């Protein structure tokens, strides 16, 4: 049996769908794209859907009484249905198109938060959160006088659930956490967190930005109350994201932004909000990005999330092996069986930005810095990490190249 036959998917065949992956950069070195946690690339199928829509079926949605608007509206609403099925949401109306995870979380913090959170109430977060899931709650705390609490992590980057239990109180209104950390790669035990939070009477918001494209999202199995994610991290155009929320919560929440589409009736001094999902989609929505998200979901479904997850595990294991061989590399995050395809690391004696720059010279794109998680880096006692993050179109050869390029980078610094 050849090695490929043992892999859960064939990356070479899939790569052919991604024109950008054939790019050569600098002095004709092949691009090795390992920055998928920042944003993924787009396959031809998604690009073609965008082109087809603009060329043949584009108009504003839910507005015109004309053929083209109907066409565009149909595509937009089919995309919403695609998202609903993808996350196993009970109803299409619970799927709100936003501009990304950041906006989705801000929507909940503003709309649900301002209506439900009072001085003395508590919101529980984790220290591994992206700034998008910290700052909106800090702003809510400034507006309402509520208190923020943070689930601590072990040195390996896992949530300490016993400490979580101690943070829960009758004043806890909401627990907000990432399903997968964008730095540690930790896969958090969402179902268990939801169970414990609900027993304490608190709601749960899941930031699924780093898991939606990599492992199945089942909002009913999670039993979560809100789930947020971004299209651009799952093969879709940037500018579209999703907020899913339980219908009864969304129904009771006031609108976030005001404007066109989100109203049923307007007088000079008052308005009546529209039903879901329009209530939370003020103004012209990200029409083509949402339609592109529908195509991206079709593509991901065809590859299969179980295959994607299993294949990323193969890549991540190889990455851990090659980085260990370099020597002087510290990987932050939990054991392999508890992490997704994200490997953040420091290299002894070399700043993360220099690591990224030296890798870039060899065509390898990784991200370096605090990755919008300053509190996490403070907890880890470091200011910056370099991060390699994978998707199904990456190959084992690319991971081997990362190891060799890192070894070279270390030599360069030893000589200085
Ligand atoms: N993380 C990264 O390189 P937006 O920017 O709204 O699409 O997603 C924000 C966001 C929220 N939560 C998590 C867990 C995330 O990883 C991100 C985006 C990118 O890690 C860009 S900073």
Same domain, 342 and 382: yes
Same domain, 203 and 337: no
Same domain, 119 and 23: no
Other Cβ atoms less than 10 A from the Cβ of 349: the count is 11
Query: Do the domain assignments include residue 40?
Result: no
Strand pairing class (122-126; 172-178): parallel
Structural domain total, the chain = 2
Taking CA atoms only, the protein residue closest to ligand 1 atom 5 is 102
Last residue of a domain, one of 283, 302, 321: 302
Same domain, 289 and 318: no
Q: How far apart are CA 286 and CA 244, in angstroms?
A: 16
Query: Do the domain assignments include residue 123?
Result: yes
Give the nearest ligand 1 atom to 183 CA: 20
Query: Do the domain assignments include residue 317?
Result: yes
Last residue of a domain, one of 284, 302, 320: 302
Last residue of a domain, one of 302, 317, 341: 302
Q: Quick check: helix, strand or coil at residue 414?
A: helix
Distance of CA 38 to the CA centre of its chain: 9
Same domain, 222 and 75: yes
Q: How far apart are CA 325 and CA 24, in angstroms?
A: 27
Half-sphere exposure of 46 (CA within 13 A, CB side): 29
CATH of the domain at 353: 3.90.1150.10
Predicted confidence at residue 4, as pLDDT, reads 60
The single residue of 127, 372, 384, 407 carrying the catalytic annotation is: 372
Query: Do the domain assignments include residue 163?
Result: yes
Is the shortest distance between the CB of 106 and ligand 1 below 6 Å?
Answer: no
Is the shortest distance between the CB of 207 and ligand 1 below 6 Å?
Answer: yes
Q: How far apart are CA 242 and CA 290, in angstroms?
A: 9
pLDDT in tens, the chain (416 residues): 455 668 999 999 999 999 999 999 998 999 999 999 999 999 999 999 999 999 999 999 998 789 999 999 999 999 999 999 999 999 999 999 999 999 999 999 999 999 999 999 999 999 999 999 999 999 999 999 999 999 999 999 999 999 999 999 999 999 999 999 999 999 999 999 999 999 999 999 999 999 999 999 999 999 999 999 999 999 999 999 999 999 999 999 999 999 999 999 999 999 999 999 999 999 999 999 999 999 999 999 999 999 999 999 999 999 999 999 999 999 999 999 999 999 999 999 899 999 999 999 999 999 999 999 999 999 999 999 999 999 999 999 999 999 999 999 888 877 76
Predicted confidence at residue 1, as pLDDT, reads 45
Predicted confidence at residue 87, as pLDDT, reads 98
Structural domain that includes position 75: 47-302
Same domain, 357 and 405: yes
**In the predicted model, what is the mean pLDDT of the chain?**
97
Which residues are within 8 A (CB) of 3 and not within 5 positions of it... i.e. 6 or more apart?
Answer: none
Same domain, 245 and 378: no
CA diameter of the chain: 73
Is the shortest distance between the CB of 40 and ligand 1 below 6 Å?
Answer: no
Same domain, 208 and 295: yes
Is the shortest distance between the CB of 98 and ligand 1 below 6 Å?
Answer: no
Which residues are within 8 A (CB) of 278 and not within 5 positions of it... i.e. 6 or more apart?
Answer: 62, 261, 262
CB contact burial 222-254 (16+ within 10 A = b; e otherwise): bebbbbbbbbbbbbbbbbbbbbbbbeebbeebe
Query: Do the domain assignments include residue 37?
Result: no
CATH of the domain at 112: 3.40.640.10
Taking CA atoms only, the protein residue closest to ligand 1 atom 17 is 209
Query: Do the domain assignments include residue 141?
Result: yes
Give the nearest ligand 1 atom to 132 CA: 11
CA 271 to ligand 1 center in whole angstroms = 34
Q: Quick check: helix, strand or coil at residue 407?
A: helix
pTM: 0.98
Same domain, 162 and 310: no
Same domain, 284 and 402: no
Q: Quick check: helix, strand or coil at residue 337?
A: helix
Predicted confidence at residue 115, as pLDDT, reads 98
**Structure tokens that stand for 129 in this block:** 């959160």
DSSP type of residue 8: S
CA 377 to ligand 1 center in whole angstroms = 16
Is the shortest distance between the CB of 344 and ligand 1 below 6 Å?
Answer: no
Q: Is 146 an annotated catalytic residue?
A: no
Same domain, 290 and 323: no
Same domain, 257 and 125: yes
């Amino acid at each position: 049996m050849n090695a490929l036959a043992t892999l859960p998917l064939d990356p070479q065949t899939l790569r052919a769908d991604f024109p950008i992956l054939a790019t050569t950069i600098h002095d004709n070195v092949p691009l090795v794209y390992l920055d998928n946690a920042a944003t993924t690339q787009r396959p031809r199928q998604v690009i073609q859907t965008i082109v087809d829509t603009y060329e043949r079926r584009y108009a504003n949605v839910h507005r015109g009484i004309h053929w083209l608007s109907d066409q565009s509206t149909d595509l937009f609403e089919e995309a919403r249905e695609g998202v609903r099925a993808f996350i196993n949401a009970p109803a299409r109306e619970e799927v709100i198109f936003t501009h990304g995870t950041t906006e989705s979380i801000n929507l909940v913090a503003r709309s649900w938060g301002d209506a439900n959170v009072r001085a003395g109430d508590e919101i529980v977060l984790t220290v591994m959160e992206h700034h998008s899931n910290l700052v909106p709650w800090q702003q809510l705390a400034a507006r309402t006088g509520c208190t923020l609490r943070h689930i601590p992590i072990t040195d390996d980057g896992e949530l300490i659930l016993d400490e979580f239990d101690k943070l829960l109180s009758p004043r806890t209104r909401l627990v907000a956490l990432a399903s997968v950390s964008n730095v540690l790669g930790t896969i958090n035990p969402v179902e268990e967190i939801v169970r414990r939070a609900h027993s304490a009477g608190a709601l749960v918001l899941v930031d699924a930005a780093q898991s939606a494209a990599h492992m199945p999202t089942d909002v009913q199995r999670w039993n979560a109350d809100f789930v947020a994610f971004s299209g651009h991290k799952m093969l879709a155009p940037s500018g579209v994201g999703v907020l899913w929320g339980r219908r009864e919560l969304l129904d009771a929440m006031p609108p976030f932004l005001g404007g066109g589409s989100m109203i049923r009736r307007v007088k000079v001094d008052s308005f009546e909000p529209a039903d879901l999902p329009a209530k939370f989609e003020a103004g012209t929505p990200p029409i083509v990005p949402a339609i592109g998200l529908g195509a991206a979901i079709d593509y991901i479904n065809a590859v299969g999330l179980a295959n994607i997850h299993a294949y990323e595990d193969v890549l991540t294991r190889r990455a851990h092996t090659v980085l260990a061989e370099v020597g002087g590399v510290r990987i932050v995050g939990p054991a392999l069986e508890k992490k997704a395809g994200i490997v953040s690391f420091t290299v002894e004696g070399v700043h993360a930005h220099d690591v990224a720059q030296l890798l870039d010279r060899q065509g390898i794109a990784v991200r370096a810095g605090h990755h919008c998680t300053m509190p996490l880096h403070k907890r880890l006692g470091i200011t910056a990490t370099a991060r390699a993050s994978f998707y199904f179109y990456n190959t084992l050869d690319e991971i081997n190249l990362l190891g060799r390029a890192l070894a070279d980078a270390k030599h360069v610094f030893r000589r200085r």
